[in-house]
Structure 1
Amino acid sequence: FERILSPNNSITKQSQPAIWHEFLRFESQVGDLPSIKKVEKRRLALHVELNELEGRETLLLVDRYKFLNLLPCSNDELKLLGYKDVSNINLSSTSTSLLTNGSVVNGTALLEQAAKDRRAILPRPDIKHLMPFRPTRNPLPGSHSTSGGVFPLPDTALYLVKVLPPSRNFEGPFVIIDELMERVARLNIPD
């Protein structure tokens, strides 16, 4: 964005507001507060220079407090203010083309390329290690059944399950859990 909006570039001032809007949106998503304020100040200076600020102060505030698709007020209030989201407007209709170093470049193509570059940087999850969801009605003994499906037991727990006798052979006595927990709580364990 900085290279596109630099003073030595041959982009006309009338075609820059849409690019400044995208630049501000980008900084709002990934930038810090000082960089956002710097971009807002430069965009405001452009609007003052183009005499487009009359009646737009409120609309610039809506842009400032907007994040992704969350808006600071309802759609009806936005319509009453005359707010039109710049991202919904086709940039090629507002500025037919942008001149860069003597060659004609479409503004939307530049913005789409910037979006692709941002997506390439974002981390992606490694789905190779995800276990597929396979719920079973009757889990096998020795398997660890959870609400997400059946998963193998950890090695130490699997060893313990193999060493213990099967549950069908156990006839008692049954442990009263509340009394056991009470005795464990009263137990004085030395350091």
Structure 2
Amino acid sequence: MDRKYVGAPAGPLGGRRRTLGALALLLAGLGVVVACSSSGGSSSSSPGPSSFSPNPSAFSSGASALGSLASSAKASVSSAAASLSAAASSFAASVSAQAGENRAGAQSALATVTGSGNVTSGITITGLPKATTGGLNAALVTIVNNTSGTANYAIRVNFSDASGTVVDSTVVNRQNVAAGATATVTAFSTQSPDQALVPTVAQAQSY
């Protein structure tokens, strides 16, 4: 005897229908959620672009402040330069007064000297810090009289730049230095105060 089964078809067509129905229900649910989200979000306002209007007076104030600072800086520099110039003049005047004794005689003594002079020892030279010279290049010349009698000294000091070029030259002198005694004299240059010049003894003559 043949047996027959009665029921809904379980083939491919039935499965597709069930799947399409499920998708339709899912899409319907999503539509409701999206609609609710849109209506709820519409109540809040999104921030829009804000405009910025600069205040011209702020720039004017800044420019004025910068101008005042520049003027103040210039005044400070001018004041410092004037103070330095006064200090240099004072130093030069003081040294010139001390070394002025028989300066003409010292220059005359060196005028006929060839080479480095007749003093071969006992002369040393040391640069002085500009803080003590008003910004001028200066040096302290130390003389030790190694002879057996009193002597006068005429000394030529050269001031050279970093390349070795002689920028300035000056003559200093010391009178009546006793035998075995030590004396000092200051040499300075008013040339190129903005450079560090090197002082050297070019000539030394006793007379």
TM score, norm. by length of structure 1: 0.20
Higher relative contact order (CA 8 A, sep 6+): 2
TM score, norm. by length of structure 2: 0.19
More helix by share: 1
More strand by share: 2
